[in-house]
Amino acid sequence: MALHREKEDVLLAWINGFRLGGPADNILLLHDGVFFLKFIFKLKGQEEDQSLLDQPIQQRIEFVSDFLQNYCHYKTDKGAIVSWDNILNGKNLDVELSKVVVLLMFHALTNGLVGIDRPDYKTEVRMAAVIRFVFNYEDSLYLSDNLETFLQKPFYFDLSSISSVSSTGDESPVLYRRRRPEVKFLELTTVASTSDGSPIQDVLNTPQFQLRKARKQLDQERDMRDELERELATSSQTVTEREMEISQLRNRIQRLMRDNAEQDQEPKELEELQNKNEGLLKRLHEVLKQCQEFKTNKSQMENKIDQLTEENGNMSVELVT
| Per-residue pLDDT in tens (0 to 9) along the chain, 321 residues | 688 889 899 999 998 988 888 888 899 999 989 999 998 998 888 888 899 899 999 999 999 998 888 877 555 555 678 888 888 888 889 999 999 999 999 888 888 787 778 888 888 899 999 988 888 877 665 576 688 888 888 887 655 444 433 333 333 333 334 334 333 333 333 333 344 568 888 888 888 878 877 887 888 788 889 888 888 888 888 888 888 988 898 898 888 887 777 666 567 777 788 888 888 888 888 888 888 888 888 888 888 888 888 888 888 887 776
In sequence order, which residues have a C-beta less than 8 Å from that of residue 8 and are 6 or more positions away? 26, 27, 94, 98
- Predicted confidence at residue 78, as pLDDT, reads 57
Judged on CB neighbours under 10 Å (0-12, 13-18, 19+), 53 is middle
SS percent in the chain: helix, strand, coil, step 5: 70, 0, 30
Q: How far apart are CA 232 and CA 301, in angstroms?
A: 6
- Residue-level pLDDT at 58: 92
Q: Give the per-residue pLDDT at 165.
A: 37
Query: How far apart are alpha carbons 62 and 30 in whole angstroms?
Result: 15
User: Residues 85, 91, 97, 99: what is their CA dihedral angle, to the nearest 10 degrees?
Assistant: -80
104 CB-contact burial (10 Å; exposed 0-12 / middle 13-18 / buried 19+): buried
- How many CB atoms lie under 10 A from the CB of residue 248? 11
Neighbour tally for 265: CB within 10 Å: 13
